[in-house]
Amino acid sequence: MKIISRYVVREHAGPFAFALVALTSLMLLNFISRQMGELVGKGLPWKVIGQFFMLSIPFTVALTVPMSVLVAVLYAYTRLASENEVTARKPNGVSPWRLVTPAIIGGVFMSIGLLAFNDQVLPRANHELSTLQSDISQARPTLLLKEQVINSIAEGKFYLKAGKVDQAGGRLLEVVIYNLADAMRRRTIYADSGHIAFASNRKDLLLDLFHGQMQEVATDKPTQLNRLFFKQDRYRIRDVQTGGFKETETTEANKGDREMGVCEMQKRLWLAQNQYDMDLQEYRDAKQPPKPTMPPRSAPPRVRSNEPHGLGWAYCALLKRVGGVKSAHAADVRGAGLHAVAAQDTTPKKKADSAAVAPAQDTALRDKAAARPGPPGGRVEKVAAGTKAR
């Protein structure tokens, strides 16, 4: 690297590092200030809290690196122009492109690095963070409940209000539950205290209520009020997956868009398109009238034309060749997927071909048995069709 190139790189390195640290710190402080009140002092281990904030760093870095590059470029070339260094180098035969080339090359390498970071590191960190949030909410359901506020447990069905919430023990005081699941009846449950926890299946929410009453009003008879008093009662709210209470997502099928890399999204897109084509073809075949019986003939396996192609699949194939990156396993769907489609398409044809070949084999065996010479003495045994002559 020449002296001028090293000088330009040094002019960019300092502002870039300062801007990256400053912007990342500011965004992390903002995130911590918003999340600290919901995590600290609620019975969670400090290791879990630290892991929560560590998994938030990749998302912040993905935003601050481009901003830091912009700050570094503006600062470096503004200083060179303000101190007349560009003008001083022109009489010495130094082209302005000599000053711009190092920044362009650095930008290319920075883009490649960000591409790998956003495709390999960021989706996995987002998935781990989402899983951790789900585990926290299921281990401590009260973390997402706010005091003196109507909290949505199941959107449009169940709402809960508590006068006081014990975050560590899961106890509730002055509980009010609004049950809107039945359109013909409106139920309101009042209880002095209660306990909230998830069931063993990690999907249903259990509410143990003590010393309360349930009021029920039918929508067709609003003047009639039914009241039921109880000392202890348990309510099970099934499939609680909204309003912050989410099931742990550990499988690839349940990943969101921010939790998948390029290859995983390409794989899901190709499978969805292929399934759509197959369903459309089945629908068209069902709409067409039955065709007259044609003489059987062997046909080559039919392979659909929507093979994986494009820049995304080229990128996945390159990842697999270079380092066998874990996320690049989606590139293998090309051969496996096409083989599966061809096998599914040719299954009915194979059955038809085998059914058509059976009579031909019987005829050939019958002719062969008739042409075979009989035993000594001129006695010939009759041979049944489809069996060997003795």
Per-residue confidence band for 345, with pLDDT thresholds at 50, 70 and 90: very low
pLDDT digits (tens, 9 = 90+) for 16-48: 999 999 999 999 999 888 887 767 766 677 888
- Closest to 262 (Cα-Cα) out of 209, 314, 304, 212: 314
Beta-strand ranges (E) seen in 68-220 are: 151-154, 158-165, 171-179, 185-198, 205-218
Q: How far is CA 323 from CA 90, 116, 160, 326, in A?
A: 45, 12, 51, 9
Give yes or no for residue 356 having a pLDDT over 50. no
Q: How far is 55 from 258, CA to CA, in rounded Å?
A: 14
Give the lowest-confidence range in 49-58, 68-77, 132-141, 173-182.
132-141
Dump the DSSP string for 244-270: T------SGGG--GGG--HHHHHHHHH
Structure tokens belonging to residue 386: 């489809």
- 195 compared with 253, residue with greater pLDDT: 195
In contact, 152 and 242? CB cutoff 8 Å: yes
The alpha helices in 141-233, defined as continuous H runs, are none
In contact, 142 and 166? CB cutoff 8 Å: yes
First to last CA, the chain: 91
As a whole number, mean pLDDT of residues 318-330 equals 60
Give the per-residue pLDDT at 389: 39
Residue 244: φ, ψ to 5°: 100, -25
Q: How far is 372 from 5, CA to CA, in rounded Å?
A: 93
In contact, 258 and 126? CB cutoff 8 Å: yes
- 104 compared with 148, residue with greater pLDDT: 104
Give yes or no for residue 268 having a pLDDT over 80. yes
As a whole number, mean pLDDT of residues 183-198 equals 87
Give the lowest-confidence range in 143-157, 159-173, 336-350.
336-350
Dump the DSSP string for 304-360: -S----SHHHHHHHHHHHHT--GGGGGGGHHHHHHHHHHHHHHHHHHHHHHHHHHHH
Q: How far is 39 from 142, CA to CA, in rounded Å?
A: 11
How many CA atoms lie less than 13 Å away from 278 in the CB half-sphere?
16
How many CA atoms lie less than 13 Å away from 139 in the CB half-sphere?
13
Question: Mean pLDDT in the chain?
Answer: 75
Give yes or no for residue 337 having a pLDDT over 70. no
pLDDT digits (tens, 9 = 90+) for 283-314: 888 888 776 665 555 544 444 445 566 777 77
